[in-house]
């Protein structure tokens, strides 16, 4: 049943690519919003024991800004912009993970 729905969605997306792309941008903006909210809540939860909690908070705020930018499509005119935003998301996640790794592996004073 799910396979039939996916095939139907694929046919519709091939017939109406512009509407599909606009829908994808809306869904991606919603995902960015959920991730930004989760990262912000996680930052405040880690404030007591993580010295780098502000990095996660900054990342969460940036993701919320990206979410509204993507969903609102203020300047979204090309497909490459969505790829850039997905790359920014991956870069923010990578920097957070690297910084947390160094914080965890730091020798005790």
CA pair distance 93, 20, nearest whole angstrom: 27
pLDDT of residue 50: 80
Q: What is the mean pLDDT of residues 25-49?
A: 88
Mean pLDDT over the full length of the chain: 82
User: 56-62 long-range CB contacts below 8 Å, 24 or more apart?
Assistant: 56/96, 59/92, 59/93, 59/95, 59/96, 60/35, 60/36, 61/36, 62/36, 62/88, 62/92
In percent, the amount of the chain with pLDDT more than 70 equals 87
42 against 19, higher pLDDT: 42
100 within some domain? yes
Asked if residue 46 is part of any domain, the answer here is yes
Would you place residue 76 in the very low, low, confident or very high pLDDT band (cuts 50, 70, 90)?
A: low
Residue 80 domain-assigned (yes or no): yes
Judge whether 12 lies within some domain.
no
Q: Which residue has the higher pLDDT, 25 or 76?
A: 25
Separation between Cα atoms, residue 7 and residue 109, nearest integer Å? 59
Owning domain of residue 50: 17-105
The domain tally of the chain equals 1
Cα(6)–Cα(105) distance, rounded to whole angstroms? Answer: 45
Structure tokens at 64: 């919320």
Residue at 1 is within a domain: no
User: 38-42, 79-83, 97-101: lowest mean pLDDT where?
Assistant: 79-83
The whole-model pTM stands at 0.68
Please give the pLDDT value at position 72. Answer: 65
Task: Give dist(CA 43, CA 59) in Å, integer.
Answer: 9
Which pLDDT does position 32 carry in this prediction?
85
């Amino acid at each position: 049943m799910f396979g039939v729905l996916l095939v139907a969605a694929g046919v519709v997306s091939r017939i109406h690519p512009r509407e599909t792309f606009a829908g994808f941008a809306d869904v991606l903006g919603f995902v960015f919003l959920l991730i930004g909210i989760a990262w912000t809540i996680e930052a405040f939860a880690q404030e007591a024991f993580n010295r780098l909690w502000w990095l996660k908070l900054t990342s969460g705020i940036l993701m919320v800004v990206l979410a509204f930018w993507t969903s609102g499509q203020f300047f979204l005119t090309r497909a490459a912009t969505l790829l850039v935003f997905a790359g920014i998301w991956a870069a923010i996640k990578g920097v957070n993970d690297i910084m947390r790794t160094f914080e965890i592996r730091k020798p005790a004073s």
